[in-house]
């Protein structure tokens, strides 16, 4: 008889409803979709930037968010440097020419301290070994080192970049 009472009680209970689970799943999908759209459309500050005129397409189809105002930049040339290296009794020379990318308002000040800039670059290039120049990844590393040194002389806000115009080792 105990068996029939148990069976009768379990048969009388209703199965739990799955409606709250389905509603929760639908709301989670809707919230995830809305969050994705908000980020994709740029509605949130940490999403993609506006895809208007500012973000130009790059050749591979990606969006570029870094925009430079070239109308406010001028290029200040650095006089060409020739540095000699001794290599197993044979003299080799490096011909180096570059320009500094500076804001228009800073061009006069950067030009005024050009002797200091030439001095720091000449000192750095003469301290290098020939093997440092012949590496395949030498130019980007040397360029970054020279830019850091120039910015130390004139101030980081006065020089945006160092553009290598000529780098010939013969």
> pLDDT digit string (tens) for 119-164?
999 999 999 988 888 888 889 999 999 999 999 999 999 999 999 9
End-to-end Cα spacing for the chain: 106
Domain range annotation of the chain: 18-66, 70-169
Q: Looking at the domain 70-169, which fold is it?
A: Tetrahydropterin Synthase; Chain A (3.30.479)
Quick check: helix, strand or coil at residue 118? Answer: helix
Name residue, tokens 């750095």.
Answer: 124
pTM of the model: 0.58
Separation CA 50–CA 40 (nearest Å): 10
- What is the C-alpha to C-alpha distance for residues 101 and 70, in angstroms, rounded to an integer? 10
Model confidence pLDDT, tens digit, residues 76-109 = 999 999 999 887 778 889 999 999 999 999 999 9
């Amino acid at each position: 008889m105990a068996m029939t009472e148990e069976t009768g009680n379990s048969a009388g209970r209703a199965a739990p409803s799955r409606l709250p689970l389905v509603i929760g799943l639908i709301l989670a999908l809707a919230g995830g979709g809305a969050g994705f759209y908000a980020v994709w459309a740029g509605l949130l500050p940490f999403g993609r930037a506006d895809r208007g005129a500012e973000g130009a397409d790059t050749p591979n189809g990606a969006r570029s968010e870094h925009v430079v105002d070239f109308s406010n930049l001028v290029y200040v040339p650095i006089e060409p440097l020739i540095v000699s290296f001794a290599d197993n009794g044979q003299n080799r020379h490096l011909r180096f020419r570059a320009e500094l990318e500076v804001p228009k308002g800073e061009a006069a000040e950067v030009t005024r301290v050009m002797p200091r800039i030439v001095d720091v670059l000449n000192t750095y290039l003469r301290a290098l070994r020939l093997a440092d120049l012949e590496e395949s990844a030498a130019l980007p590393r040397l360029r970054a080192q020279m830019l850091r040194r120039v910015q130390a002389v004139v101030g980081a806000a006065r020089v945006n970049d160092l553009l290598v115009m000529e780098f010939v080792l013969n």
